[in-house]
Structure 1
Amino acid sequence: MAAVTALPVSLSARFKGSFAYFTVKDRLPQILTKTIDTLHRHKNEFFEEYGEKGVEAEKRAISFLSKLRNELQTDKPVTPLEDELPDAALWNQYLEYQRNLSDGNGEPSWFQSPWLFVECYMYRRIHAALAQNPPIGSFDVFKEGKAQNFFESQEAIIALCTYFQELLKNIKDLDEKQLQGELFKLLQVSLWGNKCDLSFSAGEKSSQKSSPLQCLEDMVPYIIVNDMEKLWSLLINAKKRNTDKCNVRVDIILDNAGFELVSDLVLTDFLLSSKLADEIHFHGKSIPWYVSDTTKSDFNWTIKQLQSANHMWMSRCGINWEGNLKKGVWVYQDHMFWTLPHIYSSMAEVAPDLYADLQRSNLLLFKGDLNYRKLTGDRKWEYTVPFHQALNKFHPAPLCSLRTLKSDTQVGLKPGQGEQIQASEPEWMVSGKYGIVQFDATP
């Protein structure tokens, strides 16, 4: 029997000077401080809507979050969740699992545990601070930032919607080569749209100002794994094999709201309009997550904003997309699993219903850095380890990661490639300047 190779260590703040350390030390407390400020600013609104009860709830939520910030900054043990929310038991089981892993090194704490776990845990505790304090339980503390990103990216959104609506006019006349060219363009817009990430900028401005189509040529050298050809051949072959009985389904596991979401909607509408796909399933978050991640409310809000825009092509996009949802060729779904701390290789065991659903897909597109971290287990891999190996048996369907690099994990590079970039740009793995379109079809 071949020896089982041990998995590399998890990224963690215990490695001083690492990006995980910087995130837990500086970025996460900043995000908590901003969240507390947001609640403060809405105090009058809570009073107008709910009277004294609203103000009391706001005070309790703030006190809960201040305590959380203190626990984080003083590296206290990560405590079990005490709320009654549906996922609490799964979280507490996972915490128990982390305890058992710590080999008697004491309780898992903020700086000693895997970065992915404590970061997800913080967002889950932010959710609890509100959910446990009715009547403000459904308030999304990140909503303003997401809306601001959308409005500040207005020019880029107009440019993209205009380009796409012009493209639709003659999409039926495009030959295969032209269709491929357009797919590659929109994949790249969706890839670079991933830069607009508010959890990465700790809530500072992060929007798309210029036309997203102008500089694509210049950006190609920064795509360090580029499997667009493989993606194309999967889609075009599925289209050729496709009979009326068998729909080609593409699933997109969403990342950020705002400009990135619009770029994802354009990409998926292109797949439908070019008949490269027959139905699209969108997977978003069931609770506010990682500052700018898309929830159902963000998804619907974005389409409504586009519909009512006083720009012809923006509004046309919004109207068509509402139509796609009504016809059922677009399906939005969320699942508790996407906001658990588990990596994707444990999905089949933890969420067998979701895994079985993804197995019905012809292609899974995973957007963004957090999805990549969960796909590859958020570990300190050697750069040249094959993507398939890092997926660690997660393979419901052929899948592709579209991600700009914002954390220090990357696999599937050519020998020497990572070292070469590192020599000239020490921050290359966390600057958001480099991207990947990384595909894996091996079951």
Structure 2
Amino acid sequence: MTIPGRFMTNDKGTFGEYTASTRWPIIIQNAIDDLSKHQETEKSNGTKFEQGEVIKKELKEFRQEIIDRVPLRPFTEEEIKIANVPLSFNEYLKKHPEVNWGAVEWLFSEVYLYRRVNVLFQRQCEWAKFDIFNRLKQSTFESSFYGVVELALRYENLLPQLREMKQNPGNEIDDILKVLFKEFIEISLWGNATDLSLLTNATLEDIKSIQGAKARAASESKIVVNDTEKAWEVLTKARADANSREIRVDFVLDNSGFELYADLMLAAFLLQSGLATKCVFHAKDIPYMVSDVMLKDFDILVHDLRDREFFPSGEPSTKESRALDLFAGEMEKFVSSGKIEFREDSFWTTELDYWNLDANETKYHGSILHKDLQKSNLVIFKGDLNYRKLTGDRKWPRTTKWETAIGPLATNGITSLSLRTCKADVQVALPEGLDAKLSQEWEKENPGRGSWWCCSGKWAVICFCSGIHK
């Protein structure tokens, strides 16, 4: 089998080319603007303000590097030491000394970009722990107020029923749980775009109603690959075989804010229903991809749920406030009991794709993570970047089998589920003819960009692999 090359920043007419030429300068400019706003609150600290001026000047220079398409430079020894930069970046640049911002692998250069930004903050002691993207993370989460409250209310409504179903298992109960499992998976998949209406009630009659079936079919129509059923079978089998053994589900996280909230909802459902006994969340170790989850973001989220200025749901006695407080308390209890655990690792912020989640990758924690993830009953990879890393961000034909595109992960013992809202050029596992149909459909409203349907966020995929050699 010939393995195709990766998407490049000079692949004409691709979303990757557009991202490198248009979106990256905007992202850096937004960081400069946010730094300026934060500096206004730090004027009394002369040292911090001056260091902020240095960072701002360097960010402007870095932005110009991207615009001018200058060669990508290796990290210096000082930068590597101060910011704990993995040596994989310099190893790549040694092998590809000719690359510049306008002609380089998209995946490498995008990850490299965030490492470069992080170095600028790490070099200034007053700013070393500052998350330049935190303001945007918070404002985005705050704007999700109505969805957050609605989901909290529905979780509160479901909670006693979930506990009762856990105590009284059976085929009819499993029918209900199966539909709820699909709903929570879709909430985790879509984030704010989700229709939450199906979670109002959890009775078998409501779930099996014609109206409920139509609503589910409508919500699933944009999921072009849907292996939810296979994930359900894995967890129900694990539950049947558990005999007091741990049932572990891992989340390799993507975005903070509402998406992290939705991921925690899915975890809470799994734990309360008995489909899992432990959930492990894998976060990033640096501010990354603007909105990705860091360890601190969990504590911030729980604090936000209780903050009546952040989420103005009225007095503590209102049903909305009670529901938010309940979920925040549930999360804290899960963490303190060890049922939910957060971890970070620098592997997730290297440029290495997930073909390196394997026993053969011994330099940057790939083998360590591989050994650990083999202990999990199901590893859920969230979001578009994780999908790109799973597939190597390569120019696979869009009908390529999922097991082919993920390389060693197809057979190295990690049971995986990718939940991805499509926002990049790479796309696999489609049935014959579907790509042409969707490209034609998207072309009508976006002339010359028909193939960008899979970069629009309007469609999604749920891809499962057992990790077992067949």
Whether the TM-score (by the shorter chain) exceeds 0.5 is yes
Q: Deviations over 1:132-172 (max 9, x none)?
A: 11211211111011111111101001111111111111114
Distance in 2 (alpha carbons) for counterparts of 1:21 and 1:434:
21
Query: Structure 1 residues 151, 176: closer, same or farther in 2, change over 3 A?
Result: same
Q: What residue identity is the alignment partner of 1:118? A: S
Is the Cα–Cα contact under 8 Å of residues 156 and 211 in structure 1 kept in the other structure? no
Shift of the alpha carbon at 1:129? 1.1
Distance in 1 (alpha carbons) for counterparts of 2:261 and 2:438:
31
Distance in 2 (alpha carbons) for counterparts of 1:315 and 1:98:
52
Shift of the alpha carbon at 1:98? 3.4
Greater mean alpha carbon deviation, residues 57-66 or residues 303-312: 303-312
Give the structure 2 partner of residue 263 of structure 1.
262
Q: Deviations over 1:75-119 (max 9, x none)?
A: 1110011202222423212322334xxxxxxx1111211001111
Residue among 97, 103, 111 paired with 2:102 = 111
Give the structure 2 partner of residue 96 of structure 1.
94
Q: What residue identity is the alignment partner of 1:12? A: M
Give the structure 2 partner of residue 392 of structure 1.
407
Distance in 1 (alpha carbons) for counterparts of 2:414 and 2:333:
28
Could you tell me which runs of 5 or more consecutive residues in structure 2 were left unpaired when the two chains were aligned.
Answer: 166-172, 199-214, 309-315, 443-449
Query: Would you say 1:57 and 2:55 are equivalent positions?
Result: no
Shift of the alpha carbon at 1:396? 4.3
The SS at the match of 2:357 is helix
Q: What residue identity is the alignment partner of 1:73? A: I
Is the Cα–Cα contact under 8 Å of residues 374 and 415 in structure 2 kept in the other structure? no
Residue among 148, 160, 166 paired with 1:169 = 160
Residue among 368, 391, 396 paired with 1:376 = 391
The SS at the match of 2:139 is helix
Quick one: percent identity of the two aligned structures? 32
Q: What residue identity is the alignment partner of 2:300? A: W
Shift of the alpha carbon at 1:67? 1.4
The SS at the match of 2:343 is strand
Query: Would you say 1:76 and 2:70 are equivalent positions?
Result: yes
Distance in 2 (alpha carbons) for counterparts of 1:396 and 1:96:
33
Give the structure 2 partner of residue 133 of structure 1.
124
Shift of the alpha carbon at 1:74? 0.9
Give the structure 2 partner of residue 222 of structure 1.
222
Is the Cα–Cα contact under 8 Å of residues 252 and 283 in structure 2 kept in the other structure? yes
Shift of the alpha carbon at 1:364? 0.3
Give the structure 2 partner of residue 305 of structure 1.
304
Distance in 2 (alpha carbons) for counterparts of 1:357 and 1:46:
43
Residue among 148, 173, 181 paired with 1:157 = 148
Distance in 2 (alpha carbons) for counterparts of 1:373 and 1:410:
9
Distance in 1 (alpha carbons) for counterparts of 2:337 and 2:376:
19
Q: Deviations over 1:390-420 (max 9, x none)?
A: 1110244110000100001111111111111
Q: Deviations over 1:274-314 (max 9, x none)?
A: 01001000001111111111111111110222244541111
The SS at the match of 1:385 is coil
Give the structure 1 partner of residue 454 of structure 2.
429
Query: Structure 1 residues 353, 178: closer, same or farther in 2, change over 3 A?
Result: same
Query: Would you say 1:34 and 2:30 are equivalent positions?
Result: yes
The SS at the match of 2:36 is helix
Residue among 316, 319, 330 paired with 2:326 = 316
Greater mean alpha carbon deviation, residues 86-95 or residues 371-380: 86-95
Query: Would you say 1:287 and 2:286 are equivalent positions?
Result: yes
Distance in 2 (alpha carbons) for counterparts of 1:216 and 1:132:
51
Residue among 117, 120, 124 paired with 2:115 = 124
Distance in 2 (alpha carbons) for counterparts of 1:379 and 1:71:
26
The SS at the match of 1:15 is coil
Query: Structure 1 residues 442, 353: closer, same or farther in 2, change over 3 A?
Result: closer
Distance in 2 (alpha carbons) for counterparts of 1:171 and 1:40:
48
Distance in 1 (alpha carbons) for counterparts of 2:195 and 2:441:
29
Shift of the alpha carbon at 1:371? 0.3
Q: What residue identity is the alignment partner of 1:341? A: E
Is the Cα–Cα contact under 8 Å of residues 156 and 210 in structure 1 kept in the other structure? no
Is the Cα–Cα contact under 8 Å of residues 285 and 344 in structure 2 kept in the other structure? yes
Distance in 1 (alpha carbons) for counterparts of 2:275 and 2:29:
45
Aligned length: 415
Give the structure 2 partner of residue 339 of structure 1.
349
Distance in 1 (alpha carbons) for counterparts of 2:307 and 2:37:
28
Q: What residue identity is the alignment partner of 2:8? A: S
Distance in 2 (alpha carbons) for counterparts of 1:216 and 1:369:
23
Distance in 1 (alpha carbons) for counterparts of 2:252 and 2:142:
23
TM-score, normalised on structure 2?
0.85
Is the Cα–Cα contact under 8 Å of residues 418 and 463 in structure 2 kept in the other structure? yes
Give the structure 1 partner of residue 276 of structure 2.
277
Query: Structure 1 residues 329, 66: closer, same or farther in 2, change over 3 A?
Result: same
Shift of the alpha carbon at 1:12? 1.1
TM-score, normalised on structure 1?
0.91
Residue among 327, 350, 356 paired with 2:371 = 356
Distance in 2 (alpha carbons) for counterparts of 1:9 and 1:128:
29
Give the structure 2 partner of residue 414 of structure 1.
431
CA-atom RMSD in angstroms: 1.6
Q: What residue identity is the alignment partner of 2:430? A: L
Distance in 2 (alpha carbons) for counterparts of 1:171 and 1:79:
54
Q: Deviations over 1:225-271 (max 9, x none)?
A: 01111111111001000011x20110001111111111100001100
The SS at the match of 1:135 is helix
Greater mean alpha carbon deviation, residues 281-290 or residues 340-349: 340-349
Q: What residue identity is the alignment partner of 2:146? A: E
Is the Cα–Cα contact under 8 Å of residues 381 and 410 in structure 1 kept in the other structure? yes
